[in-house]
Amino acid sequence: MRTVILLILSNIFMTMAWYGHLKFKHAPLLVVIALSWLIALPEYALQVPANRFGHGRFTAPQLKIIQEAISITVFILFSILYLRETPNWRAGAAFVLILLAVVIAVYPGQEREKAAGEAGTSSTQTPESPQGSQGTF
């Protein structure tokens, strides 16, 4: 849960850095870039620990997929609440597909490992190898 909370917070900062300036198009571009970098700094301070804490429970690809789903969720809320732009049905459908990707990427692998542990068989997952028996591309 700590990983997800840190990812949510980091994505709030990053969304503000990337898109918050759109309401201030009169501001000089170099100023906007500098301010965006200052806003992005806390994002890195949250994202790096989120990945560090989460790796082992999740694989790096799983962490990335979770991060993308959180990023889309934060962006949609930001778009509606701050920019006053409501995504169309296609964006909604894409969001559902991304959430489905998270389910596919995260849950089936952990269920296999849990079932293997409950059956008394040894899992191939070790602390040094969080990928376990989930396979590769």
Question: pLDDT tens, 12-60?
Answer: 999 999 999 999 999 999 999 999 999 999 999 999 999 999 999 999 9
Calculate the average pLDDT of the chain. Answer: 83
Evaluate if pTM is beyond 0.75.
no
Task: Give the pLDDT of residue 127.
Answer: 47
Q: Which residue has the tokens 């301010």?
A: 35
Number of C-alpha atoms within 13 angstroms, CB side, residue 108? 8
Portion of the chain with pLDDT greater than 70, in percent: 78
Task: Give the pLDDT of residue 112.
Answer: 54
**Please, which residues have CB within 8 angstroms of residue 50's CB and are 6 or more apart in sequence?**
2, 3, 4, 6, 7, 10, 63, 67
Rg (C-alpha) for the chain, rounded Å, is 18
The 8-class DSSP code of residue 16 comes to H
Question: pLDDT tens, 74-97?
Answer: 999 999 999 999 989 998 898 889
The 8-class DSSP code of residue 136 comes to -
